[in-house]
Amino acid sequence: MTEYSERADYSERLLERPVGKESPGRIRFVWLIVIPLIAVLSQVYVPRFVWFLSYLELPLLITVHFALHRRSPIAAVFYGMSIGLVQDSLSHQPIGMFGIVKTLVGYFAASVSMRFDVENPVVTFILSFFFYFFHQFFYWVLTRALLGEVVNFDAQQTLVFGLLNAAVALPLFRILDKLKVAA
């Protein structure tokens, strides 16, 4: 066995052994469908009456929660892609913009979940804030690069909204954890 293959086996074992606690259970399949739909629907309907809730990115938080707790990059990739495509369908942008961004968010969140204790509220807060900023920034990059639209990126505002979304993520993740059933 060469040195390279030994190192690869070591890395593989390291990846397969999550650092955080074992997930207490999995969410039922029906909730995996219903919860994103509720999130997208609330993003469409609620801001009509409470305008400041338009900056609440519930579909992103759902994606992050799923990826952090499922710890499967492939499943998170497809889950994020599905939610993103539904979001794209309800916008006037070409289909795939939100899909790509949430695909990456799901992949990276699932990858990160293997190295951190995602049950820790501080870690959850930081990760939610980070992925919100990553989501908004990467969406802005895609808009400029792929569509050629000149859209301003307000970093300060995005940071504030990131903090608000992270604050919402803490109780939301607790509620979603209640839906889990024992594996």
Q: How far is the CB of 181 from another protein (least distance, A)?
A: 26
CA dihedral (171, 161, 84, 72) positive or negative: negative
Does position 162 interact with another protein (CB under 8 A)? The reply is no
* 32 contact partners, CB below 8 Å, separation of at least 6: 66, 79
- Shortest Cβ 174–another protein spacing (Å): 25
Alpha-carbon span 80 to 98, nearest angstrom: 9
Other CB atoms within a 10 A radius of the CB of residue 95 amount to: 13
- Considering the complex, what minimum distance in angstroms separates the CB of residue 24 from another protein? 24
Binding flag, residue 91, another protein (CB under 8 A):
yes
Residue from 14, 19, 95, 126 touching another protein (CB under 8 A): that is 95
- Please, which residue, 23 or 143, has the CB nearer to another protein? 143
Residues whose CB falls within 8 Å of the CB of residue 128, separated by 6 or more in sequence, listed in order:
61, 64, 165, 166, 169, 170
Q: How many residues does the chain have?
A: 183
Q: For residue 67, state whether it binds another protein (rule: CB under 8 A).
A: no
Could you tell me which stretch among 24-32, 37-45, 117-125, 174-182 binds another protein (CB under 8 A)? 37-45
Residue 73 backbone dihedrals phi, psi, to 5 degrees: -55, -40
Q: Using CB under 8 A as the criterion, which residues of the chain lie in contact with another protein when the complex forms?
A: 8, 12, 37, 40-41, 43-45, 47-48, 54-55, 57, 59, 73-74, 77-78, 81, 85-100, 103-104, 107, 111, 136, 146-147, 149, 151-152, 161
